[in-house]
Structure 1
Amino acid sequence: MRTFLSVIFLAAFSLFSFAQQPYAPAAALPAKNLAMFGRGLYPGNDTTYHLLKRSGFNTILLSSFYIHADGDLYSGDSHQPIIHQGKWVGDAGYVKRVKDLKTKSSISRIEILLEGRWYGQPPNTFDFIRDWYDPAKAVPGIVTGTGKESTLYNIIKVLKEVLGADAICIDDESVYHSPSIIAMGKIAADLNMHMTLCPFKRNNYWTEILEASDNNLVDALYLQCYDGGVRNEIKDWVQGLKPAQPIYPIFMVRGSFSTCDTHKGSKSVAEISKQLRGFKKDYPGMSGAAIWQMEDLNSFVKLGCAIKQPSSGTAKSVAEFLSQLKKALKKEL
């Protein structure tokens, strides 16, 4: 009898202990994280994906994806739905390339960037998340709430199951409704995924999300240091948010907006290195950085920026550009 009771007690204790363990999904961030935002990768080609696998970058943020009013998810690269009526309808070659990214590769993590603007007009992705996360609301054609049958849950579930996504990245630049994003984090947690944040302003909004979320669920922030965030200083965000998570600055390369010149904070490799060095001085704990975006690396080479404007950089191939960026980031980190 004592033996039987002991077994019951130990089993109950084990279940209780398991329930108390912190949330810890797979695909944790590497100690030194080099991330590449992937606009221009859908559906992509084998050559570009092969370059990424050998690039030395660790995280690929597939971008950009937008939720539409009918519950479909669209790719910003093709302006076509990849999820329609709750099912994957996107390019099969893309799925194969994405799933192969981690094979014999430096890449260990794949994130999905959810963007808010569809050519600037409202409503957008985060309007719909705000309007649908509450199960008490009735929206024609949409299953509201964040339960397993909901439209929002299904979108993330399909991305997890079809693409093997490890995290969703929140790039909200217009709605700023923290309760709905906190709810999205709970969807990610239920699917054993992470959620990351991609701010450029509104410190208080991101603080609300961090304070309401497990530190292992929301495990990183990508700080925009270009365009609207061109004046961002990483020390201000570290001091303002005081996050347990790492903050990674995002740099935009020359070649963006189809110009070799500086535009909206775009930088050469040398300029990125210099700014990163200053950030590291202000934030000694900085353990990674990100580049926006793969499409612009291709644009830099296609434009012939190394010849037309040598001050913009010297890369004459995408492979060379990736190598230069990797070396510059690793050197300063």
Structure 2
Amino acid sequence: MRSYAPTLAILLSIFLSCTYAESIRSIFLFKDVLKSKTAALRTSGFNTLIIFGIGVTEDGSINYYSNTPGSKDIVVAAKGGYVGGDALASKVLSFKKGNDTGVNRIELSMNSAHVKELMAKGAGDDTVLAKNFKALKVAWGLDAVNNDDEKVYDIGSTVAFARMLGKVGYKYTFAPYTNLRFWVSVEKQLNAGLKEPGLLMDRVYLQCYDGGARNNPAEWSRTLGIKVVPLVWVTNDSKPGQGTTVAQARGKFNSWQGSVAGGGYWNDYDIEKMKLSYKQYGDVLTSIFK
């Protein structure tokens, strides 16, 4: 009798390779990365780090806003080249280097200031803005740009900007807390005719705290047609009522499991300021999202 075991094994292997995707375990880096605890971020179970925050100026230069006492805002890309310094570049690159790191993706989170005006002047990959983002991508080993627009919500310029970034090698992601219709419209245009893993807009980090505290990740996933990554805010003294303990985070992520692509936190600065544990918060994600 002919055996079909090898054929079935091969088919199963192909099926798993096509369908398996590592769950997203993310954290936003609010603290100046030069002062962040590199080892903890690398080894606590996070596979995605999102650097907050980046902004563009009227001339297309890119600024890194430190958000940390004792640090200052700096220009990291201008006139088509990287100008952020070797120390900063080395620090960002170090997150994905070494056998002990679990980090495989680094994103920039940026606001929407000046994007509409710059896109009106040109959205080609030969513009100074595009060259600046390409230079920063190379210098920092970046994978994606995250849109944290909470004010402008201009569909045309957002789509043009994302497509420009796609041409120089970035993926594009969202971090919404409201205005679902806007994000649906942008996602449909950016991903029209595309399929995984070739999507341009490939992730949504949904704010489930503060202004987005009532957000339902399953509803956002269903409406967008892409599983979102819910974010909770760790214990903090800025808005204590929006803080989430390790135990509370576990409860929330467990309740959302199945309808989401992973989970994440806002933010590293508060973990360190409040003397919390990266490992404990990371363990919540690794135990729920494989």
TM-score with structure 2 length normalisation? 0.82
Partner of 2:190: 213
In 2, Cα distance between equivalents of 1:71 and 1:185 = 15
Q: Work out whether 1:160 is the aligned partner of 2:160.
A: no
Rate the CA distance shift 1:156–1:84 in 2: closer, same or farther, 3 A.
closer
Uncovered stretches (5+) of structure 2, i.e. residues with no partner: 1-19, 67-71
In 1, Cα distance between equivalents of 2:172 and 2:286 = 25
Partner of 1:133: 119
Q: CA deviation at 1:52?
A: 1.4
Q: CA deviation at 1:129?
A: 1.0
Alpha carbons 2:44, 2:283 under 8 Å: kept: no
Partner of 1:238: 221
Q: Work out whether 1:34 is the aligned partner of 2:25.
A: yes
Deviates more, 1:180-189 or 1:104-113: 180-189
Uncovered stretches (5+) of structure 1, i.e. residues with no partner: 1-28, 117-124, 135-143, 302-314, 316-320
In 1, Cα distance between equivalents of 2:129 and 2:211 = 28
Alpha carbons 2:30, 2:269 under 8 Å: kept: yes
Rate the CA distance shift 1:256–1:236 in 2: closer, same or farther, 3 A.
farther
Q: Work out whether 1:248 is the aligned partner of 2:248.
A: no
Provide Cα deviations, 1:7-49, integer angstroms capped at 9, x if missing partner. Answer: xxxxxxxxxxxxxxxxxxxxxx95111011111133335xx11
Provide Cα deviations, 1:129-162, integer angstroms capped at 9, x if missing partner. Answer: 111212xxxxxxxxx2111331331232122121
Alpha carbons 1:30, 1:58 under 8 Å: kept: no
Partner of 2:39: 50
Which AA in structure 1 matches 2:285? Answer: L
Higher RCO, 1 vs 2 (CA within 8 Å, ≥6 residues apart): 2
Rate the CA distance shift 1:109–1:30 in 2: closer, same or farther, 3 A.
farther
Counterpart mapping for 1:218-233 below 5 A: 218-233=201-216
In 2, Cα distance between equivalents of 1:40 and 1:30 = 29
Alpha carbons 2:218, 2:260 under 8 Å: kept: no
Task: Give the superposed CA RMSD.
Answer: 1.9
Alpha carbons 1:32, 1:288 under 8 Å: kept: yes
Equivalent in 60, 84, 109 of residue 113 of structure 1: 109
Alpha carbons 2:125, 2:167 under 8 Å: kept: no
Q: CA deviation at 1:74?
A: 1.6
Q: Work out whether 1:79 is the aligned partner of 2:35.
A: no
Partner of 1:298: 272
Partner of 1:94: 88
In 1, Cα distance between equivalents of 2:237 and 2:46 = 20
In 1, Cα distance between equivalents of 2:118 and 2:215 = 32
Counterpart mapping for 1:161-180 below 5 A: 161-180=138-157
Counterpart mapping for 1:250-329 below 5 A: 250-257=231-238, 262-263=240-241, 265-280=242-257, 284-301=258-275, 315=276, 321-329=277-285
Alpha carbons 1:36, 1:292 under 8 Å: kept: yes
Q: CA deviation at 1:190?
A: 1.2
Alpha carbons 2:45, 2:286 under 8 Å: kept: no
Alpha carbons 1:129, 1:152 under 8 Å: kept: no
Alpha carbons 1:43, 1:91 under 8 Å: kept: no
Provide Cα deviations, 1:103-138, integer angstroms capped at 9, x if missing partner. Answer: 12111111111124xxxxxxxx2xx1111212xxxx
3-state SS of paired residue (1:179): helix
Which AA in structure 1 matches 2:40? Answer: L
Provide Cα deviations, 1:269-292, integer angstroms capped at 9, x if missing partner. Answer: 111111222222xxx242311111
3-state SS of paired residue (2:44): coil
Equivalent in 69, 72, 79 of residue 58 of structure 2: 69
Partner of 2:176: 199
Partner of 2:4: none
In 2, Cα distance between equivalents of 1:188 and 1:30 = 24
In 2, Cα distance between equivalents of 1:110 and 1:65 = 13
Percent identity of equivalent pairs? 23
